Amino acid sequence: MSKTEQRISTLFFDLDGTLTDPREGITRCYQYSLEQLGYPYPTQAELVQYIGPPLRCGLPKLLGSEDEELIDAGVRHYRDRFSQVGLFENEVYDGIPELLASLSNAGFGLYVVTAKPAVFAKRILSHFNLEKYFVEIYGPELNGRFDDKTELIEHILREQGFQPAETVMIGDRASDIAAGKANGTRTLAVTYGFGDMEELTGAEPDYICPSPAAIGELAAEWPGIQTESAGP
């Protein structure tokens, strides 16, 4: 069976920029963190580029330092605000609830695979009543374990016993695509999030979709469990 004919059963969804738009919360929390440390902070528009990668990747660049104590302090300040206010300064993209309901009803196993700590991701998805569509929500631990999404996906595939060829990693940044490809999954880039077209095409995903509705239309064409379970 060729790759295009291979059964697809499992979908990994990134969170920020794929399911929800966290622009307001993340950028304001970065500003708060830098302010608390006595550093000047960029505008919200300038901070958009830091949405997606883990805090411990973004903060060293913003601080101009690799000092671990300083970075840890920045993480604490960020999370102080994020845990109380920032995680709710967020919006679900139009069409996402309908997409998730359709995919779930079709029989796909849906999982969140995010660079955001799992404890926060679960609160966000619960707040927006999206957690019911997912079998499990995966993200790094607060101590930084699994900050690298490539390692996180490797862990999930091993823990769940998924076949990479039957799995699609869906995200809005090149790092999502690279992490999926490194683990042998198929990859789908969405263009409505924070990665621009140059970034996403450069990552060479298997599929590119401009909207949640387009993901649903594409998934309807995949050889998957929803077609295999149908009667004669």
Is 14 a catalytic site residue? Answer: yes
Euclidean distance between CA atoms 26 and 54, whole angstroms = 11
Local mean pLDDT, 10-residue blocks, the chain (232 residues): 71 97 96 96 94 90 96 96 94 98 96 95 96 97 87 96 97 97 98 96 97 96 57 33
Domain 3-21+91-228: top CATH class: alpha beta
Distance, CA of 180 to chain centre: 11
User: Is the CB of residue 92 less than 8 Å from the CB of residue 128?
Assistant: yes
What is the pLDDT at residue 133?
A: 98
Between CA 184 and CA 120, with CA 99 as vertex, the angle to 5 degrees is 70
Q: Can you list the positions of beta strands (E) in 72-227? A: 91-92, 109-113, 136-138, 167-171, 186-190, 207-209
What is the pLDDT at residue 60?
A: 96
What is the pLDDT at residue 217?
A: 96
Residues 6+ apart with CB under 8 A from 177: 169, 171, 187, 189, 200, 203, 204, 205
Q: Which of 14, 21, 147, 176 is catalytic?
A: 14
Homologous superfamily in CATH for domain 23-88 = Putative phosphatase; domain 2 (1.10.150.240)
DSSP per-residue string spanning 192-218: SSSS-HHHHHHT--SEEESSHHHHHHH
Domain ranges of the chain: 3-21+91-228, 23-88
